[in-house]
Amino acid sequence: MLLNIFEVDISLNEIINEIAASQSEAIVMRNGSPVARILLLTTTSPQSHYPLRGKPITIAGDFDEPMPDLWDALAE
């Protein structure tokens, strides 16, 4: 949906309701050029950003020991 900036100024609440109902977006134009986009804000749970948060981990006892294969590769 393309909207003039004056339309947005007058009827922002109605525009937001329409965007929420149709799950679409609106482009706000000023002097024929796009200046803003109004879109539906989707909420995501913080857990979706960090899927491993709260999961148990195991660290090997020798995780900080030198890796002979790596040292051999670096020596070549």
Neighbours of 26 (CB within 10 A): 19
Distance (Å, whole) CA 13 – CA 60: 57
Domain of 26 in residue numbering reads as: 1-42
- In this prediction, residue 47 carries a pLDDT of 62
pLDDT single digits (tens) 10-61: 888 898 899 889 989 999 999 989 999 998 887 766 667 788 888 999 998 8
Whether residue 2 contacts residue 29, with contact meaning beta carbons closer than 8 Å, is answered with yes
Q: Is 70 exceeded by the pLDDT of residue 64?
A: yes
Compute CA distances 17 → 1, 5, 42, 45, 51, whole Å. Answer: 13, 17, 15, 23, 33
Instruction: Say what the pTM is.
Output: 0.50
Residue 11: CATH number of its domain: 3.40.1620.10
61 is written with which tokens? 């006892």
66 in a domain, yes or no?
A: no
- Domains in the chain, number: 1
